Every structure is written in structure tokens, then in C-alpha cells.
Amino acid sequence: MFYLHGTTMPLMSWYLFCFSVSRSDWLTGTSSVANRTMAASKGKNQSSLALHKVIMVGSGGVGKSALTLQFMYDEFVEDYEPTKADSYRKKVVLDGEEVQIDILDTAGQEDYAAIRDNYFRSGEGFLLVFSITEHESFTATAEFREQILRVKAEEDKIPLLVVGNKSDLEERRQVPVEEARSKAEEWGVQYVETSAKTRANVDKVFFDLMREIRAKKMSENKDKNGKKSGKNKKSFKERCCLL
């Protein structure tokens, strides 16, 4: 068991203590006590930074939590209790711009299917994760995707990546690369294989998804500004009269 330096608290307990948040924290956009403490200690107003909300989706045991913790702390945690919903926040540099990423690690078990709708509504982008060593988890991605599309029905293109995790276990592969890539192409999304253990492509999937989220926001803002400009021109014409 690993212990946090300078304490008698196990490392995993520290993760869970610091970053486990309630359902209301994520849905209302409030930070956990740990996040507020860290933000205050840095003394920088982070409210001005762009915030991208990412949701980890997939069956239980495929490595969603391991990917998240590897991205957050550069640590591979092999033994991890089943997740209910843990939220993490990190400040990163995306293509030269300092931004924040919120990651919601959701439960893959069927018992939590009912509450996933609420989480999905608040998400801006999704990492749809399966294990290349479990074909059943790959099959389940279709159902998770349908749930996302149903909840986000009002949106056009939803930022989403299909992630085949545990690429370090090639000898146990049950999902051929071609099959996974074909499914992703059918859905019009990117397919990437990762390993939380070796850190292969871990940063890539999070940063690529943030780029898709950012592009969608920019497109939406452009559309809004265009409509607003059109209304202003119309209003100006209505105020004009012939003399």
C-alpha cells in the first residue's frame, strides 16, 4: 500500500478524500473543498479561464478511473474501488492557451444507469471507453452512445472519442483494431487506443477531446454573434424612413 508523503493516510484514500464530490457539486458547477483550497493557495482567479467539461463513459472495469488518475497525477492505480461519480479539475495549457478541464468519472455499472442522464446533460464532451481485452465492453459502447445522443438530443455534433484502453495487454486482445476503428468511422468520431499503465496516448485523448469541445463552442458563439448582428441590421433598417 502506498502512503501520502508526510501522513499516515493511504494514497488512494487521499485521492478519494480530496476529489470525490457529490452529484450536486458537478451539476451546479461548484468545486469540492479540496479544489477550492488549491485554487485559493494558488492565488489566481481561475474564473476567467475557459472550462471544458469531460465525462468518462463506459462499462465497469475498463479503466476509466485509471486513465483519469494517470492524466491527473501521472500515477497508475491498479486497485481501485468501483466508482460512483468522482470529479477532478486540472489547469492545463491547450495549444498555448491556459484552460481548465473538469473530468467526471462515472460509474459503468447498470445500477447507476438512471443517474447518468443528469451527468450527461452537464457534459460538453465524452470519452467512450472500453477494454480491448473484453469484447462485451466494446459492444456496450453502442448503448452508452445512444444514451448520450438521447440526453443531448438538442445538440448537433457532440464531441466524443472512442477509446480502446489496456493496449499494453495485446496478448489478451479480444477487440480487433479494425473492428473498433470501423465502428468509430461509422459514428463519425476518432478512435484511439490507450494504456493507463504505460501512459500511451493518455494525454492525447483528453487534449483531442478538449480541442473538439473548444471548436464546438467557437462555432456556437460565431452562430450566436451572426444572428445578433442580423437582428441589429434589421432593427436599424426599421428605424430608417424615406424623406
> Per-residue pLDDT for 17 more than 50?
no
Q: What DSSP character marks residue 175?
A: S
DSSP string, 7-65: SSSBHHHHHHHHHB--HHHHHHTPPPHHHHHHHHHHT--GGGSEEEEEEEEE-TTSSHH
pLDDT in tens, 121-175: 999 999 999 999 999 999 999 999 999 999 999 777 999 999 999 999 999 999 9
Residues in contact with 141: Cβ distance below 8 Å, sequence separation at least 6, in sequence order: 58, 128, 130, 162, 183
* pLDDT confidence of residue 212: 98
pLDDT in tens, 47-105: 799 999 999 999 999 999 999 999 999 999 987 777 678 999 999 999 999 999 999 99
* Contact by Cβ (8 Å): 139, 174: no
* pLDDT confidence of residue 63: 96
- Beta pairing, strands 85-94 & 97-106: antiparallel
For residues 137 and 87, what is the distance between their CA atoms, to the nearest angstrom?
23
For residue 105, give the nearest of 93, 119, 91 by alpha carbon. 119
> Per-residue pLDDT for 31 more than 80?
no
* pLDDT confidence of residue 173: 99
pTM above 0.95, yes or no: no
pLDDT band at 234 (very low <50, low <70, confident <90, very high): low
* pLDDT confidence of residue 50: 97
Mean pLDDT, rounded, for 208-227: 90
Domains of the chain, each with CATH number or no CATH = 48-239 (3.40.50.300)
Residue 77 or residue 36, greater confidence:
77
SS3 152: coil
Q: Using CA of residue 57, residue 59, residue 63, residue 66, what is the dihedral sign?
A: positive
* pLDDT confidence of residue 3: 42
* Contact by Cβ (8 Å): 105, 86: yes
For residue 206, give the nearest of 83, 93, 115 by alpha carbon. 93
For residues 127 and 203, what is the distance between their CA atoms, to the nearest angstrom?
12
H helices present in 74-201, as ranges? 113-122, 135-151, 177-187
